[in-house]
A and B are shown apart, each in its own frame.
Chain A
Amino acid sequence: MANSFYLVTLLPLIGFLISGLLGKKIKNEKVIGTISTLAVFIPFIIAALTFFELLSADPGSRKIVLNYYNWITAGSFTVNYAYLIDPLSISLVLIITGIGAMIHLYSIGYMHGDPGFAKFFAFLNLFIFAMLHLVLADNFLLVFLGWEGVGLCSYFLIGFWYEKKFTGDAAKKAFIINRIGDFGFMVAMFFIFTNFNTLDISKFLEGLSGYNVGDPLLLIIALLIFLGATGKSAQIPLFVWLPDAMAGPTPVSALIHAATMVTAGVYLIARTSLLYALSPVAQMTIFYIGLFTALMAATIALKQNDIKKVLAYSTVSQLGFMFIALGTGVYWVAIFHLITHAFFKALLFLGSGSVIHGMNDEQDITKMGGLKSKMKITFITFFIGSLAIAGIPPLSGFFSKDAIIFETFKEIGLPFMIITLIVSALTAFYMFRMVALTFFGKPRYDQNKVHPHESPSTMTLPLIILAVLSAIGGFIGVPHFMGIPTYLEQWLHPVFEKSTAVLETIHKVQEPSMATELLLVSIAVLVAVVSIVIAFRRYSKQESFEPEKGFGKVLENKYYVDEVYDKAIVTPIQKTSEGFLWKIFDIKIIDGFINGIARYVSNISFDWRKMQTGIIQDYTTISVAGVIIIMVYILLS
C-alpha cells in the first residue's frame, strides 16, 4: 500500500484540475460531483488499507516515511517532499478523507443549481489536497505549505458567494487573522532552523533531547507555534474569524470549520508534544487559553439566533476543550476529542444545512419551530448529534468530554474541573435550546410561504452515517475503569510516549481511585442531563422573542470583541497608515525627496543651458582656448 500512497494526495489534485479547468465544459452536475467525491473517497480507501497495514505491524515500528523528492538542499540543510505515516497522521488522514468524502456527497445535493457548482468542487478538492499535506508532512516547511493552502482554500470557499459584500469581508477577515497566526508559525520555524539546523520534524524532536525542561528557547518556539495554532484553531485572541466564516456555504462550514482545518492547530501541537512537555509554561498557557476560550464561546452561543452561529461558537468552545486536553499533558485525549468532534460537529453542520435547505435559506431559529415532523431524518440525526456534543452516554462525545474533564481534575485541579463542568453544562444548554427552538414547539414561520421538506438522499445519507459514527465512535477511547481497553490511547502511544515520559519526571500525579472516577463521570452526566431538561422546558414552548437586555445583550453581541478589536487595533492602524504613512511620509517625504532631486538637477541645468548660444563662433572660441591651454602646458613642462 505504501507504494501507491501517493495517490492519496494526487487524486484530490487531479479532481481539482478537472473540476477547475473543465468544469465549465462538463455541465453535468452529477459527473463533476461524482469525480470530485471519488477523488476523496478513493484516498479514504487507500488510507484505510494503510491503516490496517500499520495495525498489523509491530507497535514499535508503526512508522513509514515516504520520501518522494529532494526539495531543498543547501549545504547541510535539506528539506524533502516526504510523507510521515504514523498512527497520528493516518488517523487524521482517515478523518479528512472519510468525512471529506461524505461532505462531497452532501454538497452534490446542497449546491444543486448553483452557477458555481464546478468551482465549488474544485476548491473542495484543493482543500483536501492541502489539508492532507498538512497532516502527512514530514517536515515543518511542507506542513506550512499545507497550512497556508488550507487558509487559502478557506478564503476561496468562505467567499464563494462573493457577490454579497459581507461574504467577501468575511473571507478577507479569515485570511488576515490567519496570517497573524502564520507569522507566529513562521518565526517559530526560523528559530527551529537557526538552532537545530533542520526543519525535519523527527530530527527536531530528536534534537530536543539535549534540552532541559523550561529552556527559554523552547518556550519561545512553543509559544510561537501556539500563536499559529490560535489563528488556525480559532482560540483567543484570534477566534473572531470563525463566526463570520459562516457566510460560506454550509458544507464548507462542516468540512473546514468543524472537522478539518480548525483542527490543524491541535494536530500541530500534538505532533510537537515533546516541545510542550519540555515547556511547562507554554503548556499551562495552552490550558488557560483553551479554558477561557471554551467558557467565553459557550456563553456567547447561549444567545445566538442564527443556527450556524450557534454551531460556530460551539466549535470554538469545543476546540477550547481540545486545547484544555493538550494543556493537561494527556495528548491522546485531545486527538480523541478531535475525532469525536469531527463526527458530531460535521453532522450538526450538515444537519443545519439540511434545515436551511428545507426552510428555503432561512437561518434564524426564531423563525423556525415544529420541524421534527416535517424533516424526520434531519431531526433524528441532529438530535443524536446534539446528545453526543452534550456528553450523554454511551455516545462518542460523552467518552471524549469525560476524559477531558477527568484529566483536568487529575492533572490540574478541582477548581478548573468545575469550570470545565460549567462549560459542559452550557454546551448541553445551548445545543438543546437550539434543538427545541428549531424542531419542537409550534411553527413560527409563515406556513403559506415556507414548506419545509426533507432533503434528498445525497444529503441525508451522510447525515445517517455521521450519526452512527457519533453514536458508536466513542468506544475507541473508553476509560480504564469500565473494562474495555482504551484502544486509541494504545494506538497513539508511540507518538506521545516521549512527551508523556518527560511529563512524568516533572510531576507525577496520583491516579485517583475508581470510586472518584465513577463519581466524576456521574456528576458530568447529571450536569448535562439537567441542562438539557432546563433548556428544553424553557424553549420548547417559546412563541415570541423579546429583544435582549443587559448581560444577554452583551452575549448576543459577542462581548463586543469585534468592536473592541476595531477600535483598538484596526482603526489606529488604518488612521496611521492613511494619515501619517501615506499623506506625510509617502507623499511629502519620499516623493518630496525624489522630486526635490529632480528639481535641483533641473535648476542647475537651467543655468548651464546658457552655454548653448547656437553661435558657432562661441564654440570655436572655446575650442581654440582649449588648444592654447594644452600648448602652453606642453611648452612649459
Chain B
Amino acid sequence: MIEINYYLIVSAILFCIGVIGVLVRRNAIIIFMCIELMLNSINLTLVAFSSYLGNINGQIFVFIVMTVAAAEAAIGLAIIIALFRNKESVNIDEINILKW
C-alpha cells in the first residue's frame, strides 16, 4: 500500500500549481484549465481519503465535484466566448473596465 501522505502531498502540490496558475497566467482559457486543475486535485484528495478510511462517501462526493466542475466550465467558457466577441482578445490584463 502507498501511504496516504504521498497522495495528499501530490494533491497539495497540484492545488498550489493551480492557484499560482490562476494568479499568474494571462490567458483566460489557461486560467480555467488551472481552476480545473485545482478541482481535480481536490478530487484526488477525496478519493485518497475514501480509500484510506474505507468509506464510500468520498467517492460519491467526487461525482458531485466533477458535475459541478463540468457545469461551471460550460458557463465560464460561454462567458469567455461572449467576451471574445466584444473585445477580440482573451487576455485578462485588457479586461479592466472596473478600474477606477
Interface residues of A in 597-630 (CB under 8 A from B): 609-610, 612-617, 620-621, 624
- Cβ–Cβ contact A614 & B23, under 8 A: no
List B contacts of A616 (CB < 8 A). 92, 95
Q: How far is the CA of A609 from the CA of B99 in the complex (A)?
A: 9
- Asked if B19 is at the interface of the complex by the 8 Å CB criterion, the answer is yes
Q: Are A609 and B19 in contact (CB under 8 A)?
A: no
Is B92 within 8 A of A613, CB to CB? no
Determine if A617 and B100 form an interchain contact, defined as CB atoms under 8 angstroms apart: no
In the bound assembly, the distance between CA atoms of A617 and B30 in angstroms comes to 13
Q: For residue B93, which residue of chain A has the nearest CB?
A: A615
1/0 per residue, CB under 8 A from A, across B64-87: the answer is 000000000000000000000000
Q: Which residue of A lies closest to B92 (CB)?
A: A616
Given the known inter-chain contacts A615-B93, A616-B92, please indicate yes or no for A610 contacting B100, CB distance below 8 A: yes
Rounded to whole Å, the gap between the CB of A584 and the closest CB of chain B is 38
Residue of A nearest to B31 (CB): A617
Q: Are A624 and B19 in contact (CB under 8 A)?
A: yes
A601 to chain B, nearest CB (A): 16
Name which of B19, B23, B24, B97 has the most chain A CB atoms within 10 A of its CB. Answer: B23
Task: Decide: B98 and A612 in contact? CB cutoff 8 A.
Answer: yes
Q: Whose C-beta in chain B lies nearest to the C-beta of A606?
A: B100
A617 and B99 contacting across the interface, CB-CB below 8 Å: no
Residues in chain B near residue A624, CB distance under 8 A = 19, 23
Chain A residues with Cβ below 8 Å from B95 are 614-616
Taking a contact as CB atoms under 8 Å apart, the answer to whether A613 and B96 are in contact is yes
CB-based contact A614/B98 at 8 Å: yes
Give complex CA distance A617, B19 in Å: 11
**In the docked arrangement, what's the CA distance between A614 and B92, Å?**
10
Interface size on B (CB < 8 Å)? 12
A168: min CB distance to chain B, Å: 56
Is A613 a contact of B99 with CB atoms below 8 Å? yes
Residue total for A at the interface (Cβ-Cβ under 8 A): 11
Answer yes or no: B22 CB below 8 A from chain A CBs. yes
Cβ contacts under 8 Å, A609 to chain B: 100
B22 and chain A: residue at smallest CB distance: A620
CB contacts (< 8 Å) of A620 on chain B: these are 22-23
> How far apart sit A624 and B97, CA to CA, in the bound complex (Å)?
23
Residue of B nearest to A609 (CB): B100
B19 with A614: CB separation less than 8 A: no
- Cα of A624 to Cα of B22 in the assembled complex, Å: 11
Which B residues lie within 8 Å of A613 (CB)?
96, 99
Taking a contact as CB atoms under 8 Å apart, the answer to whether B96 and A615 are in contact is yes
* Alpha-carbon distance A609/B98, docked complex (angstroms): 11
> In the bound complex, how far is the Cα of B93 from the Cα of A617, in angstroms?
9
Whether A614 pairs with B22 at a CB distance below 8 angstroms is no
* Closest residue of A by beta carbon distance from B24: A617
Alpha-carbon distance A617/B96, docked complex (angstroms) = 11
Chain A residues with Cβ below 8 Å from B22 are 617, 620
**Chain B residues, Cβ within 8 Å of A617:** 22-24, 92
Contact call A615/B100, Cβ cutoff below 8 A: no
The residues of A that contact B96 with a CB separation of less than 8 Å are: 613-615
A567 to B49, CA, bound (A): 98
Q: Chain A residue with minimal CB distance to B98?
A: A614
Q: CA A614 – CA B100 in complex, angstroms?
A: 7
- Write the chain B residue with the least CB distance to A618: B23
Cα A615 to Cα B96 with chains together (Å): 5
B100 in contact with A621 (CB, 8 Å): no
Whether A612 and B100, one on each chain, are in contact in the complex, defined by CB atoms closer than 8 angstroms, is yes
Once the chains are docked, how many angstroms separate the CA of A616 from the CA of B22?
10
| Shortest Cβ distance from A624 into B: residue | B19
Chain B residue contacts of A615, Cβ below 8 A:
92-93, 95-96, 99
When distances are taken between beta carbons in the complex, the residues of chain A under 8 Å from B24 are 617
In the bound complex, how far is the Cα of B96 from the Cα of A612, in angstroms? 9
Interface contact B98-A621, CB-CB below 8 Å: no
A440 CB to nearest chain B CB (Å): 92
Most buried by B among A609, A617, A621: A617
- Top 4 nearest A-B pairs (CB, nearest first) are A614-B96, A614-B99, A614-B98, A609-B100
Residues of B within 8 A of A (CB): 19, 22-24, 92-93, 95-100
Mind listing 17 A-B residue pairs with CB under 8 Å?
Answer: A609-B100, A610-B100, A612-B98, A612-B100, A614-B95, A614-B96, A614-B97, A614-B98, A614-B99, A615-B92, A615-B93, A615-B99, A616-B92, A617-B92, A620-B23, A621-B23, A624-B19
Interface of A toward B, CB cutoff 8 Å? 609-610, 612-617, 620-621, 624
Given A615-B95, A615-B99, 14 further pairs, Cβ under 8 A? A610-B100, A613-B99, A614-B95, A614-B98, A615-B92, A615-B93, A616-B92, A617-B22, A617-B23, A617-B24, A617-B92, A620-B22, A624-B19, A624-B23
